């Protein structure tokens, strides 16, 4: 009977020890659980950070704008794509541009009339209501050399244009395809001063043009300054001069021009253009 009593006591002691041990483990687990949870959270955060993809850099520039001069109105736009890397870095480029405009001007029509028993052709200068659609497809390269950024393009241009005389019953229209080229230079003179020069040639329109700007930065992405633009074609010349305002955002850009302009057939009139550029 003494042996049985000892056995019962050992079993009771073992059970009590097991209970105490489990309680101790539970207490330890409870006391250390916040640290374990925090460690697990840090591990998860590190894993997420390591698996997140870096933010993609923009390799496209998309812009659209509107310009008005007298009773003429034009809407234009374009897209430039960097074929190898980010849009602001050197490399090959593809560009497509287009525009639609309606304008008022003058056109020299050849009018046929009877004089006696003969048909005679006379030239008659008449006011016209004109419409023009143009498209360009260009390829080129962008270089960076110190404070200078240079872009050169070449390609093909297409134009469709019609003119309806407002004083006589006469119409004129054309479609043309030709080679095109463009050269754009941006030069940073100082942290607060920059200048740009844009040159272009269109074989379809048989036109040449240039635009120059000098910009002063004022902080918060704002800059402004004078600008001058000229163009020439068989239809005459066009010149404008005035000021521009430009606002740079992180990925976007807004600019506006307020100029006085004159064409071969028009007196000096206000010229206003607004443009928005988006990088993505």
What pTM was computed for the model?
Answer: 0.74
- CB-based contact 85:144 (threshold 8 Å): no
- CB-based contact 114:149 (threshold 8 Å): no
Which pLDDT band, with edges at 50, 70 and 90, does 244 fall under?
very high
- CB-based contact 221:247 (threshold 8 Å): yes
d(CA 231, CA 277): 23
Q: Please name which of 262, 263, 231, 258 lies closest in space to residue 242, comparing C-alpha atoms.
A: 258
- Per DSSP, the three-state class of 204 is coil
Which pLDDT band, with edges at 50, 70 and 90, does 55 fall under?
low
111 vs 166, more confident: 166
Residue for token pair 């005679």: 120
Q: Which of 9-23, 41-55, 104-118, 128-142 has maximum average pLDDT? A: 128-142
pLDDT of 5 above 90: no
pLDDT of 79 above 70: yes
What percent of the chain lies above the pLDDT cut of 90?
62
d(CA 186, CA 167): 46
Q: What does the pLDDT average to over 161-165?
A: 91
Q: Which of 90-99, 124-133, 139-148, 214-223 is least confident?
A: 124-133
Identify the DSSP state of 250. Answer: S
pLDDT at 166: 83
Q: Where are the alpha helices (DSSP H) in the chain?
A: 2-51
* Mean pLDDT estimate for the chain: 83
pLDDT of 81 above 90: yes
pLDDT of 45 above 50: no
Token couple for 275: 């443009």
């Amino acid at each position: 009977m003494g042996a049985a009593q000892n056995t019962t006591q050992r079993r009771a002691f073992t059970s009590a020890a097991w209970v105490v041990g489990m309680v101790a483990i539970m207490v330890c687990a409870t006391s250390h659980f916040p640290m374990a949870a925090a460690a697990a959270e840090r591990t998860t955060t590190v894993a997420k950070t390591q698996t997140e993809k870096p933010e993609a850099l923009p390799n496209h520039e998309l812009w659209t704008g509107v310009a008005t001069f007298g009773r003429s109105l034009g809407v234009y736009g374009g897209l430039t794509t960097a074929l190898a890397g980010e849009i602001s870095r050197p490399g090959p480029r593809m560009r497509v541009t287009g525009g639609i405009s309606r304008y008022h001007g003058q056109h020299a029509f050849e009018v046929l009339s009877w004089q006696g028993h003969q048909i005679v052709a006379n030239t008659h200068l008449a006011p016209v209501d004109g419409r023009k659609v143009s498209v360009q497809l260009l390829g080129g390269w962008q270089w960076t050399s110190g404070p200078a950024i240079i872009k050169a393009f070449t390609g093909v241009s297409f134009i469709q244009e019609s003119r309806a005389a407002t004083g006589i019953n006469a119409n004129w229209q054309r479609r043309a395809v030709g080679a095109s080229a463009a050269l754009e230079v941006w030069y940073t003179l100082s942290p607060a001063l920059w200048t740009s020069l844009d040159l272009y040639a269109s074989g379809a329109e048989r036109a040449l043009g240039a635009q120059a700007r000098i910009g002063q930065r004022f902080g918060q992405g704002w800059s402004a300054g004078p600008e001058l633009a000229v163009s020439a074609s068989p239809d005459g010349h066009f010149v404008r001069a005035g000021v521009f305002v430009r606002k740079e955002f992180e990925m976007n850009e807004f600019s506006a021009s307020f100029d006085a302009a004159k064409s071969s057939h028009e007196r000096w009139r206000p010229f206003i253009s607004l443009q928005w550029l988006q990088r993505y």
